[in-house]
Structure 1
Protein backbone atom coordinates (compact mmCIF):
# COMPACT_ATOMS: atom_id res chain seq x y z
CA UNK A 1 0.00 0.00 0.00
CA UNK A 2 1.37 3.44 -0.90
CA UNK A 3 1.36 6.30 1.57
CA UNK A 4 -1.46 8.17 -0.17
CA UNK A 5 -3.71 5.10 0.26
CA UNK A 6 -3.21 5.01 4.04
CA UNK A 7 -5.28 6.90 6.62
CA UNK A 8 -3.88 8.91 9.48
CA UNK A 9 -3.94 7.18 12.86
CA UNK A 10 -5.01 9.03 15.98
CA UNK A 11 -1.89 10.52 17.52
CA UNK A 12 -1.16 11.43 21.13
CA UNK A 13 1.70 13.07 23.02
CA UNK A 14 3.33 9.69 23.77
CA UNK A 15 3.38 8.58 20.11
CA UNK A 16 6.89 7.94 18.81
CA UNK A 17 8.52 10.25 16.32
CA UNK A 18 9.74 8.75 13.06
CA UNK A 19 13.16 7.16 13.62
CA UNK A 20 16.05 8.23 11.35
CA UNK A 21 15.96 4.90 9.46
CA UNK A 22 12.21 5.24 8.86
CA UNK A 23 12.66 8.87 7.78
CA UNK A 24 15.17 7.78 5.13
CA UNK A 25 12.74 5.15 3.84
CA UNK A 26 9.61 7.31 3.88
CA UNK A 27 11.20 10.38 2.29
CA UNK A 28 11.99 8.26 -0.79
CA UNK A 29 8.24 7.89 -1.33
CA UNK A 30 7.73 11.68 -1.38
CA UNK A 31 10.89 12.92 -3.14
CA UNK A 32 9.65 16.49 -3.69
CA UNK A 33 9.37 17.08 0.07
CA UNK A 34 12.23 18.28 2.23
CA UNK A 35 12.71 17.57 5.92
CA UNK A 36 13.48 20.90 7.57
CA UNK A 37 13.90 22.09 11.14
CA UNK A 38 11.98 25.14 12.35
CA UNK A 39 12.14 26.17 16.01
CA UNK A 40 13.93 22.89 16.77
CA UNK A 41 11.03 20.85 15.32
CA UNK A 42 11.47 18.66 12.24
CA UNK A 43 8.82 19.24 9.56
CA UNK A 44 8.15 18.23 5.97
CA UNK A 45 8.03 21.12 3.50
CA UNK A 46 7.20 21.47 -0.15
CA UNK A 47 6.74 24.59 -2.24
CA UNK A 48 4.17 24.35 -5.04
CA UNK A 49 4.31 26.81 -7.95
CA UNK A 50 1.22 27.95 -9.89
CA UNK A 51 0.53 30.29 -12.80
CA UNK A 52 -1.56 32.70 -10.73
CA UNK A 53 -3.19 33.39 -7.37
CA UNK A 54 -6.51 31.74 -8.25
CA UNK A 55 -4.82 28.37 -8.91
CA UNK A 56 -2.76 28.70 -5.74
CA UNK A 57 -5.89 29.45 -3.72
CA UNK A 58 -7.79 26.53 -5.26
CA UNK A 59 -4.93 24.21 -4.30
CA UNK A 60 -4.85 25.68 -0.78
CA UNK A 61 -8.56 24.96 -0.35
CA UNK A 62 -8.10 21.38 -1.57
CA UNK A 63 -5.28 20.82 0.93
CA UNK A 64 -7.55 22.28 3.61
CA UNK A 65 -10.27 19.78 2.72
CA UNK A 66 -7.72 16.96 2.86
CA UNK A 67 -6.58 18.15 6.29
CA UNK A 68 -10.15 18.12 7.58
CA UNK A 69 -10.77 14.62 6.20
CA UNK A 70 -7.61 13.29 7.84
CA UNK A 71 -8.01 15.25 11.08
CA UNK A 72 -4.41 16.44 10.68
CA UNK A 73 -3.61 20.05 9.84
CA UNK A 74 -0.55 21.62 8.15
CA UNK A 75 0.85 25.09 7.96
CA UNK A 76 -0.16 26.52 4.59
CA UNK A 77 1.17 29.81 3.21
CA UNK A 78 -0.57 31.01 0.05
CA UNK A 79 1.00 33.70 -2.10
CA UNK A 80 0.64 34.83 -5.69
CA UNK A 81 1.56 31.73 -7.70
CA UNK A 82 3.04 29.87 -4.75
CA UNK A 83 1.87 27.68 -1.88
CA UNK A 84 4.17 26.42 0.86
CA UNK A 85 2.88 23.42 2.82
CA UNK A 86 4.49 22.13 6.01
CA UNK A 87 3.37 18.98 7.78
CA UNK A 88 4.41 17.93 11.29
CA UNK A 89 2.70 16.54 14.34
CA UNK A 90 2.18 19.19 16.98
CA UNK A 91 1.44 16.67 19.76
CA UNK A 92 4.92 15.14 19.51
CA UNK A 93 6.79 18.21 18.24
CA UNK A 94 8.18 16.33 15.28
CA UNK A 95 7.44 13.92 12.46
CA UNK A 96 5.04 10.99 12.64
CA UNK A 97 4.03 8.61 9.86
CA UNK A 98 0.83 10.68 9.54
CA UNK A 99 2.89 13.57 8.18
CA UNK A 100 4.26 11.43 5.36
CA UNK A 101 0.78 10.11 4.58
CA UNK A 102 -0.58 13.65 4.36
CA UNK A 103 2.38 14.83 2.27
CA UNK A 104 1.73 12.02 -0.21
CA UNK A 105 -1.98 12.89 -0.26
CA UNK A 106 -1.09 16.54 -0.85
CA UNK A 107 0.88 15.44 -3.92
CA UNK A 108 -2.17 13.49 -5.09
CA UNK A 109 -4.37 16.60 -4.67
CA UNK A 110 -2.00 18.45 -7.01
CA UNK A 111 -2.38 15.74 -9.67
CA UNK A 112 -6.21 15.53 -9.47
Structure 2
Protein backbone atom coordinates (compact mmCIF):
# COMPACT_ATOMS: atom_id res chain seq x y z
CA UNK A 1 0.00 0.00 0.00
CA UNK A 2 1.31 3.45 -0.83
CA UNK A 3 1.29 6.30 1.64
CA UNK A 4 0.35 9.92 1.07
CA UNK A 5 3.97 10.92 0.43
CA UNK A 6 4.31 8.29 -2.29
CA UNK A 7 0.96 9.26 -3.74
CA UNK A 8 2.04 12.89 -3.95
CA UNK A 9 5.08 11.85 -6.01
CA UNK A 10 3.02 10.09 -8.67
CA UNK A 11 2.71 12.00 -11.90
CA UNK A 12 -0.72 13.41 -12.61
CA UNK A 13 -2.20 12.32 -15.88
CA UNK A 14 -4.57 14.21 -18.11
CA UNK A 15 -8.16 13.14 -17.51
CA UNK A 16 -10.60 12.84 -20.33
CA UNK A 17 -14.30 12.13 -20.35
CA UNK A 18 -14.65 8.38 -19.97
CA UNK A 19 -11.47 7.98 -17.86
CA UNK A 20 -11.95 5.28 -15.23
CA UNK A 21 -13.18 6.28 -11.80
CA UNK A 22 -11.50 4.69 -8.80
CA UNK A 23 -13.45 1.81 -7.31
CA UNK A 24 -15.00 1.91 -3.84
CA UNK A 25 -12.27 -0.47 -2.65
CA UNK A 26 -9.54 1.80 -4.08
CA UNK A 27 -11.18 4.82 -2.41
CA UNK A 28 -11.08 3.05 0.94
CA UNK A 29 -7.40 2.09 0.57
CA UNK A 30 -6.30 5.51 -0.73
CA UNK A 31 -8.18 7.40 2.01
CA UNK A 32 -6.18 5.49 4.62
CA UNK A 33 -3.06 7.29 3.32
CA UNK A 34 -4.65 10.76 3.57
CA UNK A 35 -5.30 11.83 7.17
CA UNK A 36 -8.23 14.17 7.60
CA UNK A 37 -9.66 13.62 4.12
CA UNK A 38 -13.10 12.13 3.69
CA UNK A 39 -15.11 10.96 0.76
CA UNK A 40 -18.56 12.52 0.51
CA UNK A 41 -21.19 12.07 -2.12
CA UNK A 42 -23.19 15.03 -3.34
CA UNK A 43 -25.89 14.59 -5.95
CA UNK A 44 -24.44 11.19 -6.84
CA UNK A 45 -20.88 12.51 -7.30
CA UNK A 46 -18.12 11.21 -5.02
CA UNK A 47 -15.69 13.92 -3.87
CA UNK A 48 -12.76 14.32 -1.50
CA UNK A 49 -13.28 16.95 1.22
CA UNK A 50 -10.95 18.40 3.82
CA UNK A 51 -11.08 21.54 5.91
CA UNK A 52 -7.80 23.12 6.95
CA UNK A 53 -7.58 25.60 9.82
CA UNK A 54 -5.21 28.55 10.09
CA UNK A 55 -4.60 31.24 12.70
CA UNK A 56 -6.00 34.03 10.52
CA UNK A 57 -7.28 35.04 7.10
CA UNK A 58 -3.86 35.96 5.70
CA UNK A 59 -2.42 32.47 6.18
CA UNK A 60 -5.61 30.85 4.88
CA UNK A 61 -5.41 33.02 1.77
CA UNK A 62 -1.72 32.22 1.28
CA UNK A 63 -2.57 28.49 1.39
CA UNK A 64 -5.39 29.07 -1.10
CA UNK A 65 -2.92 30.72 -3.46
CA UNK A 66 -0.50 27.78 -3.16
CA UNK A 67 -3.38 25.42 -3.98
CA UNK A 68 -4.16 27.57 -7.02
CA UNK A 69 -0.56 27.27 -8.20
CA UNK A 70 -0.68 23.49 -7.72
CA UNK A 71 -3.94 23.26 -9.63
CA UNK A 72 -2.57 25.24 -12.55
CA UNK A 73 0.65 23.22 -12.64
CA UNK A 74 -1.25 19.94 -13.04
CA UNK A 75 -4.27 21.39 -14.89
CA UNK A 76 -6.63 19.88 -12.33
CA UNK A 77 -8.75 22.34 -10.38
CA UNK A 78 -10.50 21.89 -7.02
CA UNK A 79 -13.38 23.73 -5.46
CA UNK A 80 -12.00 26.03 -2.76
CA UNK A 81 -13.82 27.98 -0.07
CA UNK A 82 -11.60 30.41 1.86
CA UNK A 83 -12.85 32.14 4.98
CA UNK A 84 -11.30 33.59 8.12
CA UNK A 85 -8.90 30.92 9.39
CA UNK A 86 -10.35 28.14 7.23
CA UNK A 87 -9.97 26.65 3.78
CA UNK A 88 -12.36 23.95 2.60
CA UNK A 89 -10.88 22.01 -0.30
CA UNK A 90 -12.84 19.68 -2.57
CA UNK A 91 -11.13 17.53 -5.17
CA UNK A 92 -13.02 15.52 -7.79
CA UNK A 93 -12.84 15.13 -11.53
CA UNK A 94 -15.56 17.14 -13.21
CA UNK A 95 -15.10 15.41 -16.58
CA UNK A 96 -15.94 11.99 -15.18
CA UNK A 97 -18.34 13.10 -12.46
CA UNK A 98 -16.43 11.43 -9.65
CA UNK A 99 -13.06 10.42 -8.30
CA UNK A 100 -9.96 9.63 -10.34
CA UNK A 101 -6.56 8.72 -8.90
CA UNK A 102 -5.47 12.30 -9.76
CA UNK A 103 -7.80 13.60 -7.06
CA UNK A 104 -5.97 11.55 -4.43
CA UNK A 105 -2.60 12.67 -5.80
CA UNK A 106 -3.68 16.30 -5.57
CA UNK A 107 -5.07 15.80 -2.06
CA UNK A 108 -1.69 14.41 -0.95
CA UNK A 109 0.10 17.34 -2.58
CA UNK A 110 -2.29 19.77 -0.91
CA UNK A 111 -1.33 18.43 2.50
CA UNK A 112 2.32 19.10 1.69
CA UNK A 113 1.53 22.78 1.03
CA UNK A 114 0.45 23.50 4.60
CA UNK A 115 3.16 25.48 6.37
Fold in common (TM above 0.5): yes
Q: Which residue of 2 aligns with 1:86?
A: 90
**Aligned mate of 1:8, from 1, 6, 12:** 12
More off after superposition, 1-10 vs 60-69: 1-10
Aligned length: 111
Q: Using the TM superposition, give the Cα deviation of residue 77 of structure 1 relative to its aligned residue in structure 2, in angstroms.
A: 0.2
So what's the TM-score if we normalise by structure 1? Answer: 0.95
Please, what TM-score do these two structures have when normalized by structure 2? Answer: 0.93
CA distance in 2, matches of 1:87, 1:44: 5
Q: In structure 2, list runs of 5 or more residues that go unmatched.
A: none
Q: Secondary structure at the match of 2:18?
A: coil
1:22-56: CA deviations, max 9, x gaps?
11111111121000112221100000001100000
CA RMSD after TM alignment:
1.0
Q: Residue deviations 1:74-110, cap 9 Å, x none?
A: 0000000000000000010000000000000000011
